[in-house]
Every structure is written in structure tokens, then in C-alpha cells.
Structure 1
Amino acid sequence: MFKKVLRWLFTLTGLIIGYVIGQSLLKVDRLAYFNSSAILKMVSLIFSSLLFGFILFLISPWLNALIKKLMDYFEENIQKVPTVEILLGTFGAILGLVISALFVSLIPKTFIGTVISVIIALILAVLGTDIAVKKKGEIIGVFSNLKKSNAPKEKKTKVVSKGIPKVLDTSVIIDGRIFDICQSGFIEGALIVPHFVLDELRHIADSSDSLKRNRGRRGLDILNKMQKELSIEVQITDKDFPEIEEVDSKLLKLAQVSKGKVITNDYNLNKVAGVQGVPVLNINELANSVKPIVLPGEEMSIQIVKDGKEQEQGIAYLDDGTMIVVEGGRRHIGEMVNVIVTTVLQTAAGRMIFAKQKR
């Protein structure tokens, strides 16, 4: 039904276009003969209208297919954009058009002036949309503050800390443990989340891969939870470094400029930051530091779950995920055995325990 309606609309449009073109042609000196009598004029206009109406009637299936593709493309992409960004973008475009009207009123009403007016309106509308979307966090913050100022004061307020600011990377937001650490009160100073990290989170959340998409959405949920529930100040900054392409390099540069530290659980970023002299707080290192201490000579009862890389080795795990390599444990896979700790290795990647069976 929709296709039929479109086809007749295109045909009607063709008839109107043909009539307008026919009237324009009758004003040409070479075609003045057809304008000499009312009958010839009417026949000419009817012929012109029917010709263009028939042409658009014939090509309407291709036009319908093109419109269908455009609608599908628009629908597919609009679903990936958050509702807040659509509303803010629309508001920014309307504001840009209102501002453009002030400039357009000063331009002479000529053909060139009309073209210039349209260009100015489009530029300001696009600019308004871009600014509104990029400043999303700050705009929402302004309305939230207005709402809070009118509402009764809550007991829990944001603490503006004078500590060293902490720049969060994408991996640590997705990981989620940073929320619990901040809630426990071990982190001081404002948490800084740059817009290019938010953009990376959105790209991950829009990924065609379901695992990446879930990770990205988890990161956005964690960030939203941090903004609402933590007493620590969470700042969304527009600070960017266009000359730097990699997100990790931008993070390190931002930490240097803000004289802060980077919080991450990315091993490679940790190493690069060490080379550049940027202070880093690694969540994995913190987790390893608070694991129960195991000393050489300590006895424990564990279950061998699989064989190790070396001959006759067996592998077991503690409840916190620490791997235990047991000499001669391969023949006891699936069994509970008593072992004695011989060596404990601590690395940035984690803790590894070597043990042997108790005789």
C-alpha cells in the first residue's frame, strides 16, 4: 500500500512539474506559436504535464526502492544512537536555526542572498547539533543540578576532593571493580573520564560482536552508576588532543596535563606509562596485593584440575584464582591432595605458587 501511495504521489508530482515547465516554455520566443491561442496553450500544457507525469510514473519503482533503502539505513543507524543524543541534537539544531534567522534577516532577498541564507542555516544547525551532543554530559549535569536545587537536600553529597585527579581508561570502566574500590573510600581526588573514552565505550557497545557489545554496555552502566551513587566527583571532560590518534596516548597526555594519575588494568598501558614517567594505579596489582599471603613451607589441601606445561606437573587454583603448580601432580588429576608451598612468584600479571606433595 505504501508503495502504491508513493507511486501516485510521484505521478502527481510529475504532472505538476510538467505543468510548471510547460508554462515556462510557452514564454520562450521560439514557442510563441503555441501561446497564440487558448486551445494550443491548453494542449501544450496538458501534453507537458502528461509527459512528465508518465516519466515519473515509470521511474517511481526505482525511486521507491531508493527511498526504502534510505529509510532502512536511517532506521538501522538511528537505533544505535542513544535517545538522549537524539533529543539534544534536535534541540541544538533548532537553536542553531533560531540563531541563523538573526543573520539571514540582514541578507538581501536576492537569489545569491537566498543561497547564502540556506548555507548559513545549515552550517549553524549542524554546528548546534554537534555542540549539543559533545556537551551532553555538561548539559545533563546542568539540568540535574537545577533539579537537585529545587528538590529537598539529600544527605549524600558529592565530595569535591583536593587529592590528585585520577584519569580512567576504557578497560578499568568495563572491568567495574573501580566502583567498589571508590565506594570503599580508598580513592581520593576527582575521577576524570575524557570524551574520547566515552566514544570508545559507545563504539564497543555498538559492535556487531555480542561479547564486545555486552562489555561496552556494562562499561556505560558502570559509569552511570558511578556518577549517581559515588560520593566522589566524576568529571566528564572535553579535553582532547587531535594531533594524537591512539586513545592510550591521549590518556597519558591528559594525565600529564592535569598532573594526575591513570587508573587501568591494561598491562601494556602500564608499561608505556612507566616509560613516559606517568603515574599509574593498576587494579590488577591492587587485587594481587590484597590476596591472602602464602609463605614457602605452608601446607594446604587443594584439588588438581589439569596437567601443567612441564612433565608430571599438575595445576590447581585457589578460590581467588591464584594458580598453583604442583610437582608430580599430573597423576592425581581430579583428586584432593595435601601440598607444601615451595616458591611464591609475584608479577604484575598475577601471583603464581609452586608446591610439592606432602610426604
Structure 2
Amino acid sequence: MVDPLILLLFILSGSAAGWMGIHLLPIGVVNETTDAEQLRLILTASGGGIGLIAGLVFKRLRISLMQQVRTMPTDLLVSRALGLILGLLVANLLLLPVLLLPFSGGVALVKPLLAVVSNVFFGILGSNLAEVHGRTLLRLFNPASTEALLVADGVLTPATAKILDTSVIIDGRIRGMLACGLLEGQVIVAESVIDEMQQLSDSTNIEKRAKGRRGLKLLRDLRETYGRRLVINSTRYDGKGTDDRLLQLAGDTGGTLVTADFNLAQVAQVKSLKVMNLSELVIALRPEVQPGDELNLKIVREGKESSQGVGYLEDGTMVVINDARELIGQRRPVVVTGALQTPTGRMVFGRLETNKDSKTTSKGKSQGKTEAKTKTDQTTTQRPIDPR
């Protein structure tokens, strides 16, 4: 709606300038033989065409500027705005004496031309200088912030915003990720996501209604816990669904899309967007050993219980082995029975592989019996026969 209105204003402005600009033409162009009304219409049409071209150019510049503003950090945006203001102020202060000088004839056209050129030059110069050195100026307002110093010097990269998908909010594990500090930066929730959860809450399906209400309750708890860190994005994007709008939001803001939807994560990766798949994160944090895995460990010391022995994995993880107290110093096969994640680290539980031991023992016994029988037969064969 905004773009057509801008084009209409430019066309009307150009047409009005052409309609009234006939009086500014030189006297030699407009004389008694000239059809003034026809010339006025030509100028009006030409002005409207020029206004249309200028409107299209302004539209592209506006879209490009809005994209830069959305992806630009807040401190950099403020510093560039201040640099632009200071540049325009310097330009007008330097231009003021020139404007006061009397010029006659065609030389008078130098004043507006000089005003436009100087404002554009000093405005761009001030904005560029603020982009390079503006953060250093902002440090003066908060000199005690170590993070601000590191970000300004380029040592620390500012954290990207995290855009939450509906699946992640309904899942509920995002609360724990925020609590343990796994997610940094602002947390953005789009209006389309809230609308989708509201539709789920009003659904006649019991399961969908429960999911929607759980998601809305989680957002309310996050708002109470984190306050202004949780940001509700009210931008309305044109798209087929919530996923399409979230992809547009991630592209405009440069944030990281947090989702548990595998297909949405794949689409985001195809579009070269930053994405964090919760399912892949869970797999990455899963213990390396699973119940049923067989390990060959050396029992190093005794455990807390009377029958336990303790061994260690290559990464230093402690493995508690049942009925291994008498085997300290020996290397035995161990079967993993479970794992426990504690605040201090990970602990693995296991038991001795009895099948291999029993097979080895039975094999040894049978082999011993065979050898004993063979020796008996040899003794009987070699015994001399009594002639009597």
C-alpha cells in the first residue's frame, strides 16, 4: 500500500511541476504563435513520466535502506544517524556565508547547486566516518562496559537474534536452553507464530488445543523471566504460511532461526540462512556410548559400593562397573547398562560381560578334559604287558 502511494505522489508532483512550469520557460520559446495549452499538456505529461521514473528509483532505494536498517546493529544505526546529522550541520554552516553573497544573472544558479552538492557530500562523509569510528564515540556514554569495549574493538562478535519457530515453542525445551545460557542475544517471536498458536488454542481438536495453550503459557513465562529480551516482531510479511514468513524474517534481520522442523531447517539451509535445528542439537549432545555398547576397559580402582569397580573412557568419563572390585588392575570386556548426566559431568554404568567369560571358562574346561583323556590313553598304551 505504501509503494503505490509513493509512486502516485511522485507522478502528481511531476505533473504539477510541468503544469506550472510553463511560466518558467524562456520568452523565446513561448510566443504568440505557440499553442500554450498544448505545450502545457506536453510539459504535464513529461513531468508525470519523470516523476514516475523518480518514484521507481526512490522505491528501490527505500527497500534497500529498510533492509540495511533491519539487519544493522542498533549501536551502528544510532552512530550513522548521528554522523549524518553532524555532516549536514557542517555542510550548512560552511554554506551559509556563500548563500549570503549577492550573485546576479546566471551565476545565481550556483547557490542551489552548491547547496545540494555540499549537503550530499558532507552527509555521506559524516555517515561513513560514523560507521568506522562511531562505536568508539558511543563507548564514552558507557565506558564501564567490557562487552561494549570488545565489540567496538572487533574482538567480540555481537550475538545474533534467535527467531523461534512454533514447533520449538510448543516443544518446551527452549526454556531450558535459555536457562543454561545456550542461546544468546535477543529472542524474537513473530506475530504469525502467535497467531498460529492462538488458532491451535481455539481448535476443536483436544491435542491441538493443548499444544497451543502450552505454547502461549511458555511465552508468558519467558516474558516474565526475561522481560525485554523477548521481542515480539509485528512486521507483517506476505507469504503462504508461517514458515514462509519466518524465512523472510530471518533473511531481513540476519537472525538465527531456531526450529524442530526438519523440512523447515533444510529450506533455510538451501536459502543460506542461519538455522539451529533442535533435533540435530539433541543428537550432538547425546552421550557417545549407549546402553548395550561393549567396551574393553581396565578396572583402575574400587567404587563406592562394596562390589563396584571403576574404569575410565578415553575422554575421562568415569565408568562404574558392578561386581568388578576383585578385578582391579585387569582389563575386561564391559557392557554399558546406562548413563547419567549430572551438573558436574557424565557418568556411565556397566557390568562385566559374563557370556564371554563363561564361554572362555567352559572352553578351557573342555580342553582340559580332552588333554587329560589323551594323557590317560597314552599312559595305557605305553604300559608294559605282564607275561604272567
TM-score w.r.t. length of structure 2 = 0.36
State the structure with more CA Rg: 2
